[in-house]
Amino acid sequence: MFKLKIILIGPKKCGKTVIANFLADATESSGGDYHPTQGVRILQFESANLPVNGQSVKADVELWDCSGDHALFESCWPAFQQGVQGVVMVYDPNTSGHTNELETLYSYFVQQGGLSSKSCLILANPKSSMRSTAVPLSGTFSRVPQTTANIDENGNKLRSEFNSFMSGLISRMRDSHEQEELSIMSSFHT
């Protein structure tokens, strides 16, 4: 069984908590009212039958639903980043300023955190159907997998994309572990 720590980050009011609850099969009794996340919510769940190198594996997942109030909780970022294997970034492409915030978050959690772009997934979560105001992402994100997070219209696609993302994380963890073992073994033979 693999253990994954995945953080869910993004600007305020972009739908991170709704997405986190959906991905973790959790329910929330907020009645639809907006309640900003204070610091972080950690959702723990088991994900079974993840395809990795032709095998079906299980993972214990910690999904950290991080507050989008960066001014208030930026001091918590080192704790969010500690031991993370994957970063899911959520934003509303129709909200001015969200793409700039993604740049800051990507720089800190992915680039400075020593993660590859393959350890990141971007979820566009438009609050309205207006496509004409959507702001495109910069070239910084050209190598980062991106999808639309529309739970109501296509929740199965979102779940499938997230499972593929977790499978990729586990595959890279397994490969890294095997490389470490080979390195240790070869040091004994020289």
Tell me the sheet residues that pair with 87: 7, 120
The full set of domain ranges for the chain reads 2-188
Please tell me the distance from the alpha carbon of residue 90 to that of residue 12, in angstroms, as a whole number: 10
**Counting every residue, how long is the chain?**
190
Report, in angstroms and rounded to the nearest whole number, the Rg of the chain calculated over CA atoms.
Answer: 17
Residue 35: pLDDT band (50, 70, 90) is confident
Mean pLDDT in residue range 77-98: 93
DSSP state of 139: G
Strand 55-66: give its sheet, edge to edge.
40-52, 55-66, 2-9, 86-91, 120-124, 146-148
The pLDDT of residue 30: 47
User: How high does pLDDT run on average in the chain?
Assistant: 87
In which element (H, E) is residue 51 found? strand 40-52
User: What are 44-74's pLDDT values in tens digits?
Assistant: 999 988 999 889 999 999 999 999 998 889 8
Domain at 2-188, CATH class = alpha beta
Q: What are the structure tokens assigned to 68, written together?
A: 């989008």
DSSP state of 135: P
Cα angle: 153, vertex 13, 164; to 5 degrees? 50
Q: What are the structure tokens assigned to 121, written together?
A: 């997934």
Q: What is the pTM for the complete model shown?
A: 0.88
Asked whether residue 185 carries a pLDDT value surpassing 90, the answer given is: no
